[in-house]
Structure 1
Amino acid sequence: MAIEKWLAVTSLGLFAMFAGEMISIYYFMTDVPEAIEFSIKFDADPKIFQFISIGVAPAGILAAVPFIMTRQYGSKPVGGLIAIGGVIMLVGMLVTYSMVDQIDDVYITDVVKYTPILFMILSIPVIVVGAYLTKEKKRRPKKEFF
């Protein structure tokens, strides 16, 4: 496999990791154990920022690099992997946004409310870029006769 395919696979994995991390922290906030609730002050904002910095930010960069490498001639496998990564992030953010109503009011902040919406919006360009790469046709090189 070429390097751009491996980069697309890595970005797909990081998109899935980010979705899983966000689902897990939102699930935790829906049912915080009493032992933790009274003994430790839990704040989700730093964790969400950490998940963004180790999950979706590198995934976006790793999706952009193969796009730049293959945008001239297109690549169905690379475009498909990038589009699937965007779909995984969109579905993961839909799941996390559906959990916001179940979270206790103590843990609701602007970051908790608006992060899933932001990344739902940001997953659309990722899907579009992946679809663009799958539709791009290879250009025939010009023949030089002399």
Structure 2
Amino acid sequence: MDPLQFLVPLGWLEIVGPALPFAILTLAVVNIATRHRAHAKHVEQAADSDSVEQYFPHVFSTVGLVLVSFLFTLVQPTGGAIISVIAVTILVADLFEFEARNVEARNEMDIEKPKSAIAASSLVVIYALYYVLVTIEATFWSGLFA
């Protein structure tokens, strides 16, 4: 008996659960791509005015990554907790990096890349890639020896 079965209906999670590592990896790669585009937009905005605005696709991908990683915690508690901590670190780093970009734009300084968020994103990609490879390998070997 699952301890959460009365609190959260987990029947649908058995169907979606095996695809969550792939979703996390996809969102992590999308997050890196949108972070690159957001940085380019911030550089353009800083050249035109004294403030920068949030790039909505990047915010969407970051929040989606955090939510899917929390969902993965229900399927794989240990791995999900690790990815969730790193995803929340990305969210917090993005908030601080955005404020740093605003300060740089106001003071007419060069806009730097978000180094801490890039490092945390790299960790999520590596860890999600690990879970995807484990899933693919388990499927391959179970099909081979079945």
Bucket of the pairwise TM-score, normalised by the shorter protein: 0.3 to 0.5
- Scaled by the length of structure 2, the TM-score of the pair is 0.43
Structure number with the bigger relative contact order (C-alpha 8 A, sep ≥ 6) is: 1
